Structure formats: structure tokens, C-alpha cells
Amino acid sequence: MGYELTEDDRPQRALLLELLRAALAAVDGRRCTREALGAREALGGSSPRAVRHASPSVDDGRPVWAAAIGKAAAAMALGAADALGARLERLLLITKEGHIGEEVRRLGCVETHESGHPVPDTRSLAAGARLLNYVDAIPRSARPLFLVSGGASSLVEVLAPGVTLEELLQLNLEGLARALPIEALNARRRAISLLKGGRLSAKLSGRRALALFLSDVPGDDPAVIGSGLLGPSSAPGSREPDDIERRVIASIDEARQAVCDRVAGLSVNAPRERFNGRVERLAVQMAHDTALGSAALHVWGGESVVELPEHPGRGGRNQQLALAAARLIAGRDDVFLLAAGTDGTDGPTPDAGALVDGDTCARIACAGVDVDEALRRADAGTALEAAGDLVHTGPTGTNVGDLVLGLKLSRAGARELLCDC
């Protein structure tokens, strides 16, 4: 995983990148899945810690048929392969284009599909149909295992009778343009789906199964993650309650805690509540707290929303937030803010987010770009690229929402913490 942001003579920027790395490592999909299932040797009882993580739903010696869906599907699939070994008999993997590495493709049991995100397309419908057929084909002798992460809402879909792909696209585009909270958008998605809202769970007809989740939603509720793709069976026509063990194995809370652990001794403000709402309000709040608050480091987790113009430019919600904050900290040489998506993508861009400082707006102006116009056009990515402030990680192997770090610290203080790291 490479960080293409230049780490120059400002140690504060290098420190924030190091903290981002620590956060991502804490919620790595491969490691979290491996530990949740129990390492391969732990299934024989040699590791007490891993045995405590092992799940009775799959720890019975039976072959396992797994389905991994979401932007972290590849990493979670590798974690399952690590833990289960030869017992992992079949694996269906559905993820975003460009999120499947060579190590996953070398698994002998895997069938891979790249699908549409953040807006669903014909691939999403094909992947949804394949997922239904796959679940129907799981033999009675095998244990079903589902690995679900954010992005599943767009990546797989089977539409209710009479609903067209054009209507699905319109729903998603309207949700993005109107800055709908993810809960509201997912509720609308469930209403037109034959997969979401527990309907896929009902297809198991009461069979015992295990579902592991990386959560990117407030409340970490399996009924909401992926629009309830593996949520409780509440669909009309389900005849019996399901027997699915559901476990959230990582969320933004673990990512934030990892950041706090790496700066022990520094004054830190890490609100328990997850941020939400419009970028404009959040940028003001976060810039104010960072610049004028008593804490040296602020650690926020959550998800903002951006109301898009008719023809938006390049960027995503984290880039928009970072650029809006950059205007408010202009001229400060000790204030920095990093906003990034933990999945490594911010909106429809290949960038995770941005890291801005008191000179960001000056660098943008020297490049001939107007900051206010960039914000108005939702074209923050263009402005931040001109400043050299974009953060690019590539696919991270996780997806637990957005992380924002606000730092007010001298160069000497940052250097000391970097040495400790």
C-alpha cells in the first residue's frame, strides 16, 4: 500500500500519515476475519486467544462455502482462507473494480466478479443473480459463511418485479445529489430489492450460517450494513426465523482507538459519537475545534454528505471537507487536517482523501485555481491535486467509514512522536 503524498520537511504531515496507517492496520479485513474465525492452527486448540474467537457456526469440521461481498471482500476472503485452509471449499467474491489482488485470484476455490460502485450498473444485477444462484447451490453438507463489508448495496442487486435498472440508477443518483443520509438511502434501496432487508437471509430457509461484517454504518447494525443484505429475515413470505450468527468484527471505533494508542501522552479529543451531516457544517466545526481547542489531536469517525451540483467536478466528501477546512485554517503553521475514506476511495475517485494545512489555499492560488469555485462545483479534487495534498492509498482491505484527524502541534512535538512510533 503506497502513500503518494509527499512527506516533506513538515513532520506534522508525516505524523498524520503514520496515524492513518495505524488506523487502517487495526481494522484490516484479512486480519480481523482470520481472528474472528480462529487461525488454522487454533482450530486444533493450540492458541487459546484464537479459540475464543472461533465460531461454532463453522468450527465443526464441515466444508465451508463462503460468499464475500463489499469493497473489503478480497481481504476478508484471504482471512477466511488463512483460518479455514482446505475446509474452504468454494468462495464467491463480489467487489469493486480494481479491488481484487493477485493473491486472491490464486486461490483455487474462488470465483470473482467485479461490479459497479458507487453507482450500480448491469454488473450489479448480474452479480446479484449469481449470488442468489450460489446460495441456492450450497450443499446441505457445507456450512454457509458470509463476509460483508460496505459497498455491498451497490455491488449486488436483484430488483423487485416491475422495477427497472434506470429506476435504481435514478434512486442512487438522487440520493447522492440530495445528500441523503446513508440510513435513508438504504431504506429506499431495500424497498425495491429482492436481496436487501433480510431477503437473502430468508433464502437459507433456516439453515445455520455465520455472517461476519466490517461496519461502515452508525450503530454497526447488520440490518443496515449493505442495506441489510445479511440482516435478519424480515422479508414478506419468510416462513421461519433464520439461524444466522451475525458478528461485527471491525468498525471505525477500533480505527480511532488505534490512533489514540499511537500517541499516548498527547492530549487527544476523540468523541464517541460519529459525525454526520453536511460537509460545510462539519468543516467549520472541525477546523474550529482543531485550531482553537485545547487538545493537540482530534480523532473523528463517521460520514459526511455533500449536495452535488448538476455537473459536479472531481472529488468526494472527504476532499470537499478537507478543502472547506483549509480555507478556515489558512495562515496557521501548526494546524493540519486529514480526511480519508478507510476503504481507500473517496466518492468516484481513486484518492482516499486529503491532508491540508495552513498553506494549502496559497498553493492552490499559485496554481491558478479558485478555492471557492472548486467548492461550489464540488471539484475539490482538482484544487487539492494542484496543492499536492491528495492522499492515495489504493484499496486498503477494509471499509469502516471515514476518518478525520485534526492536529495542532509544533514541528518539534511531531518529530518527537514520530521517533516514538
**What pTM did the predictor assign?**
0.90
pLDDT at residue 393, as a whole number: 96
For residue 6, pLDDT beyond 70: no
Residue 395 backbone zone (phi > 0: left; psi -120 to 50: alpha; other: beta): beta
pLDDT at residue 59, as a whole number: 74
Q: Which domains does the chain have, with CATH numbers?
A: 11-25+253-420 (3.40.1480.10), 29-250 (3.40.50.10180)
Q: Mean pLDDT over residues 252-263, rounded?
A: 97
pLDDT in tens, 120-155: 999 999 999 999 999 999 999 999 999 999 999 999
Residue 273 backbone zone (phi > 0: left; psi -120 to 50: alpha; other: beta): beta
Sheet (strand 110-115) strand order: 110-115, 88-96, 64-69, 143-148, 208-214, 243-250
Q: Mean pLDDT over residues 243-264, rounded?
A: 97
Three-state SS at 166: helix
* Phi, psi at 28, each rounded to 5°: -60, 125
DSSP 118: S
pLDDT at residue 3, as a whole number: 41
243 in Cβ contact with 178 (< 8 Å) = no
Q: Which of 185, 188, 190, 224 is nearest to 305 (CA)?
A: 185
Q: Which of 138, 128, 126 is nearest to 194 (CA)?
A: 128
Q: 139: Cβ–Cβ under 8 A, 6 or more apart, which residues?
A: 65
pLDDT in tens, 27-43: 999 999 999 998 543 33
120 in Cβ contact with 157 (< 8 Å) = yes
Q: Rounded CA gap, 185 and 400, in Å?
A: 18
pLDDT in tens, 47-80: 333 333 445 567 788 999 999 999 999 999 999 9
Q: Rounded CA gap, 224 and 222, in Å?
A: 5
Q: Rounded CA gap, 419 and 15, in Å?
A: 10
Grid cell, residue 385, equals: 491535486
Q: Which of 271, 272, 253 is nearest to 215 (CA)?
A: 253
Of 149-163, 287-301, 368-382, minimum mean pLDDT range: 149-163
pLDDT in tens, 82-119: 999 999 999 999 999 999 999 999 999 999 999 999 88
CA 169 from centre of chain: 21
pLDDT at residue 361, as a whole number: 98
